[in-house]
Amino acid sequence: MIRILEKSLAQILPQFYPFAGRYIKKNHFVDCSDQGAEYVVVQVVDCELNEIIGSGVKPVALNDLLSMEVGAADEITDPILSIQITKFKCGGLAIAENYDFGTIRTTKDTSTVTTRILFDRKAIATLRDKVSHLYKNSDRPPSRVLMVSSFLAEALLRADHAKHGQTRPCLIMQEVNIQERTVPALSKYSCGNLVLLTTVSCSADESKSMDFERFVPLLGNDVKKAVLDCAKVLSNGEDGHRILIDSVVGAIEKLN
The per-residue pLDDT for range 163-184, each reduced to its tens digit, is: 999 999 988 988 888 888 888 8
Determine phi and psi for 82, rounding to 5 degrees.
-130, 125
Q: Are residues 135 and 95 in the same domain?
A: no
104 within a domain of the structure (yes/no): no
What pLDDT was estimated at residue 104?
33
* Residue-averaged pLDDT of the chain: 82
State the residue range of the domain holding 93: 2-99
Q: Are residues 232 and 133 in the same domain?
A: yes
| CA–CA dist 158, 45 (Å, integer) | 43
Q: Are residues 20 and 59 in the same domain?
A: yes
| CA–CA dist 151, 203 (Å, integer) | 19
206 within a domain of the structure (yes/no): yes
Q: Are residues 9 and 131 in the same domain?
A: no
Average pLDDT over residues 4-31: 84
142 within a domain of the structure (yes/no): yes
What global pTM score does this model have?
A: 0.67
Q: Are residues 11 and 133 in the same domain?
A: no
Among residues 40, 66, 99, which one ends one of the domains? Answer: 99
195 within a domain of the structure (yes/no): yes
Q: What percent of the chain lies above the pLDDT cut of 90?
A: 25
**Least reliable range by pLDDT among 42-46, 100-104, 119-123, 198-202:** 100-104
Q: Please give the order of strands across the beta sheet that includes 81-87.
A: 38-43, 81-87, 93-99
Q: Are residues 48 and 128 in the same domain?
A: no
In the Cβ-directed half-sphere of 254, how many Cα atoms lie within 13 Å? Answer: 17
| Tens of pLDDT, residues 64-100 | 777 777 666 667 778 888 888 888 888 888 888 776 5
The tally of domains found in the chain comes to 2
Q: What is the DSSP string of 99-160?
A: E-------SS------------HHHHHHHHHHTGGGGTT-SSPPPHHHHHHHHHHHHHHHHH
Q: Are 96 and 66 in contact (CB under 8 A)?
A: yes
Identify the three-state secondary structure at position 31.
strand
Q: Are residues 160 and 54 in the same domain?
A: no
What CATH number corresponds to the domain at position 67? 3.30.559.10
Q: Are residues 138 and 85 in the same domain?
A: no
CA distances from 37 to 13, 25, 72, 137, 190 (A): 8, 18, 14, 50, 19
184 upstream amide cis, omega within 30 of 0: yes
Contacts for 60 with CB less than 8 Å, ≥ 6 apart = 114
112 within a domain of the structure (yes/no): no
16 within a domain of the structure (yes/no): yes
